[in-house]
Structure 1
Amino acid sequence: MIELVRTDSTNPDFVELVSLLDADLHVRDGDDHSFFAQFNKITAIKHVVVAYLHEVPVGCGAIKAYSQDTVEVKRMFVLPEFRGQGIAGKILAELECWAAELDYSTLILETGKAQPEAIRLYTKSNFKVIPNFGQYENIESSVCMQKAVQGQPVKEL
């Protein structure tokens, strides 16, 4: 059974999972990895979810304030051997619930064209592709998406 634990970016299991995520992204992003890495620092992230299966950390995700009513989904990752079991969807749903509790109305995220499984997860979770925002605005390999938090109206960026 999957146990979801709310924590922050000081959690050692989160730190380890993110290091594995970064190694995977380094391969997928190639020469572009250093550009993306600068926006994925985990210091001072207050809202992190770690998924455990039989007390073993198998996945993670986080939300980080983007504006007064919008949070950005960050650092979503599930160990390869545990993918396809719905763990990422559970993490994402927990992050959305947490965002609602914190009175945010919109979730946004950036992923890459080199992560088709992530795009499928977000699409299945009712995220819609939007124009690239912020630092991703002119990055062709980026895919930006958004979703209203639990039925709230989407706030435009």
Structure 2
Amino acid sequence: MFNISEVEKGDSDLTWLVSELDAFQSELYPTESNHCLDFSAVSDEQLRCVIVRDEGNAPAGCGALLFHEDGSAEIKRVYIRPEYRGRKLGQKIVSAIEGIASEKKSRLLQLETGIHQQPAITLYRRCGYEICDAFTPYKADPLSVFMRKELP
């Protein structure tokens, strides 16, 4: 059994998961194609974070939602630790993030992921996201895949 909960951006387990994600991505992409969000660079009002924990309360994965001034929001930092993959935790994270977006009346969700992360792309497609052009603040990057979804 897994549970998902919202946490503060400074949560120590979240920091640990994000560090693990950074290490994973640094092996896949050069620095200029690594679009990692530094949580300390955004206000608490701009960011909402979630963690999935296993039955022993160990952190299994995370995700975040960054709100933009235009009313859209961006999915950031979705990560599942390798030993927990294949258990539909990514869908739980995306669903929780979409719920937060709906609460805040954000109707457009966007994200950037990398071409070497095919399981992530598959996850987002299953969740209804479609490939789109680069959006602000990004520029087109041959190593990036940009996706979007309009919420009802």
Say whether the fold is shared (TM-score over 0.5): yes
- What is the Cα deviation at residue 62 of structure 1? 0.2
| Partner residue in 2 for 1:133 | 135
Question: Does the 8 Å CA contact 1:108/1:147 hold for their aligned counterparts?
Answer: yes
Distance 1:140 1:66 in 2: 24
| Partner residue in 2 for 1:81 | 83
Q: 1:4-153 to 2 correspondence within 5 Å?
A: 4-29=4-29, 32=30, 34-37=31-34, 39-43=36-40, 44=42, 46-54=47-55, 55-149=57-151, 151=152
CA-atom RMSD in angstroms: 1.4
Q: Matched residue pairs, number?
A: 147
SS in 1 for 2:145: strand
Distance 1:128 1:58 in 2: 26
Amino acid of the structure 2 residue aligned with 1:144:
F
Amino acid of the structure 2 residue aligned with 1:2:
F
Q: Taking every aligned residue pair, what percent have the same amino acid on both sides?
A: 29
* Cα distance change of structure 1 residues 146 and 67 upon mapping to structure 2, 3 Å threshold: farther
| Partner residue in 2 for 1:154 | none
Distance 1:53 1:14 in 2: 14
Distance 1:16 1:36 in 2: 22
Question: Does the 8 Å CA contact 1:110/1:143 hold for their aligned counterparts?
Answer: yes
SS in 1 for 2:39: coil
Amino acid of the structure 1 residue aligned with 2:28:
R
Distance 2:78 2:58 in 1: 17
Give CA-to-partner distance per residue, 1:25-66, whole Å, 9 cap, x none: 01111xx2x224464212145300000002010000000012
Question: Can you give the 5+ residue segments of structure 2 that lack an aligned partner in the other structure?
Answer: none
Which sits farther off after the overlay, 40-49 or 66-75? 40-49
Distance 1:99 1:135 in 2: 19
Q: Give the alignment's TM-score, normalised by structure 1.
A: 0.88
Give CA-to-partner distance per residue, 1:87-140, whole Å, 9 cap, x none: 011011000001000111111000010111110000010000001122432211
